[in-house]
Structure 1
Amino acid sequence: MNVTIVDYKSGNISSVINSFKEVAQNKVKIEVTSDLNKIKSSDKVVLPGQGSFKSCIDALNKINGLVETLNVFAINNKKPLLGICVGLQMFADVGYEETETKGLGWISGKVTKIDNQNGKYKLPHIGWNEINIIKDSKILKDIKNKSHMYFVHSYEFLPNNKNAILATTNYSSNHVCAIETENIFGTQFHPEKSDKIGLKIIDNFINL
């Protein structure tokens, strides 16, 4: 089996790569590429994202055919895909970071700035926070409710379909931190920076 981490030149993804390789331990082939044919032939794809919603979407669009390839992979062929941080946010129809930007439109909804309640809450929301698991999921297998995960973000994904929400975290309000619809999974937190619990989520995704 091979898992492809999409490298579209958006931020430092070395910790994502290292953690997947650590979990895979040569039993699973981990490839890091933006090669469309390699992505197409993958069993699973990981879409990381660092920086702003707009910068990540722009970077995806800069690679000719990449968005179409991801659409075919996730939407047409229904193969497992995991979005991390902005990788999850890009599933939305639209994001409002920097300027209004069209998302991938895989999970209907929007990405808006966390309400910091007039400065009461610092942005970005950075560091460890506990997650409230709302429903069971294969990627949250053996993860205890109220586990702590590592976050770095100022924007939140508001999906229209509340059934897609796996977990929330409380920071100024309850916001979505893990989602699943069919074969598409996403975490707002960084599993690759969330110690052993985060590695367990990566392991769960690899073993789907």
Structure 2
Amino acid sequence: MTVALIDYGAGNLRSVANALAAAGADTVAITADPERIARADRIVLPGVGAFGACMSGLLAANGVVEAMAEAVALRGRPFLGVCVGMQLLADRGIELGDHKGLGWIPGTVRPIAPGPALRVPHMGWNDVHAATPHPLLVPGEAYFLHSFAFDAADPAQVLARTDHGGAITAAVGRDTIVGVQFHPEKSQAYGLAFLSRFLEWRP
């Protein structure tokens, strides 16, 4: 099994690749080659940084968005977005401006509003609560680091939530697409178990 880990200048690629290998991936190809992406068995889109900058970097990687869409829409390949990679699935992100996303999961990424007892960014370990039954998401504790949250248009596409001054989306998904706000590669046993389920998933 080959996992295409998308290289567009916006992710901690090596740690994600190591976690995928530890979870059982045969081959992890860190790549921006549209042909390799389109033919991969699994696709993982990482992301660290601001929504607009990450989306610009993804669009600048010639043919990558089209290859991802071909793999997912035409070939039915399982797709995982991590952190900002999950946020890019939205229609738009409101961070340092208003930026268009991939539009694969309808919704808007909005800033988490700070409060007297609410620290932003949301950083550290927090519980993951399943919201919609899905084979990849189980209750547990994962590592989060983000200041913006995915406001999904369809509650049925929210697979899990966490609590940080109220409910925050921890995972979204539909069909063969899943996105998680937490970092599996930093979530120790919970994260490796999640990645193992993703590698074994047959949607």
Same fold (TM over 0.5): yes
Letter in 2 for 1:46: V
Of residues 149-158 and 60-69 in structure 1, the stretch that sits farther from structure 2 once superposed is 60-69
> Where do 5+ consecutive residues of structure 1 fail to align?
none
> Is 2:120 aligned against 1:127?
no
Name the residue aligned to 1:15. 15
| Coordinate RMSD, CA, aligned | 1.2
Q: CA deviation at 1:189?
A: 0.4
> Where do 5+ consecutive residues of structure 2 fail to align?
none
Name the residue aligned to 2:60. 62
Name the residue aligned to 2:80. 82
Kindly indicate whether the alpha-carbon contact (under 8 Å) linking 1:91 and 1:106 is maintained by their aligned counterparts in 2: yes
Select 2:98's aligned residue among 81, 100, 110.
100
Kindly indicate whether the alpha-carbon contact (under 8 Å) linking 1:115 and 1:172 is maintained by their aligned counterparts in 2: no
Kindly indicate whether the alpha-carbon contact (under 8 Å) linking 1:4 and 1:46 is maintained by their aligned counterparts in 2: yes
CA displacement, residues 1-43 of structure 1 (integer Å, 9 cap, x when unaligned) = 211111111132221111011122xx62211111111001101
Separation in structure 1 between the aligned mates of residue 95 and residue 117 of structure 2, nearest angstrom: 20
Moved over 3 A (4+): none
Separation in structure 1 between the aligned mates of residue 131 and residue 148 of structure 2, nearest angstrom: 21
Letter in 2 for 1:60: L
Select 2:174's aligned residue among 181, 191, 195.
181
Q: Percent identity?
A: 36
CA displacement, residues 141-164 of structure 1 (integer Å, 9 cap, x when unaligned) = xx3x2x111000000001111111
Separation in structure 1 between the aligned mates of residue 199 and residue 57 of structure 2, nearest angstrom: 26
Separation in structure 2 between the aligned mates of residue 40 and residue 64 of structure 1, nearest angstrom: 13
Letter in 2 for 1:19: A
Select 1:171's aligned residue among 155, 164, 168.
164
What SS class does the counterpart of residue 166 from structure 1 fall into?
strand
For normalisation by structure 2, the TM-score amounts to 0.95
For normalisation by structure 1, the TM-score amounts to 0.92
Separation in structure 1 between the aligned mates of residue 197 and residue 11 of structure 2, nearest angstrom: 25
Letter in 1 for 2:93: G
Separation in structure 1 between the aligned mates of residue 91 and residue 72 of structure 2, nearest angstrom: 15
Separation in structure 2 between the aligned mates of residue 11 and residue 39 of structure 1, nearest angstrom: 17
The alignment of Structure 1 onto Structure 2 pairs a total of residues equal to 201
> Is 2:145 aligned against 1:152?
yes
Separation in structure 1 between the aligned mates of residue 52 and residue 71 of structure 2, nearest angstrom: 22
What SS class does the counterpart of residue 54 from structure 1 fall into?
helix
Name the residue aligned to 2:108. 110
Separation in structure 2 between the aligned mates of residue 45 and residue 69 of structure 1, nearest angstrom: 10
Q: Kindly report which structure 2 residues correspond to 1:32-47, keeping only aligned pairs within 5 A, or say none.
A: 32-47=30-45
